[in-house]
Amino acid sequence: MFSRRQMIRPVAVQVNALIEDSLCHYRRLIGEGIRLEFAA
């Protein structure tokens, strides 16, 4: 009833760049026993 109505504006996101930046963190979290591959 009393919620604010904020305008939502679409923003372009480079998903591949976000994933590539996060790969080293994911590899560190999952350890050496699991192989993680990313193909763009």
Going from N- to C-terminal start, the domains of the chain cover: 12-40
Task: State the 10-residue block means of pLDDT for the chain, 40 residues long.
Answer: 79 88 84 79
pLDDT for 40 equals 66
pTM across the whole model: 0.44
pLDDT for 10 equals 92
pLDDT for 18 equals 87
Rounded CA separation 22/1 (Å): 39
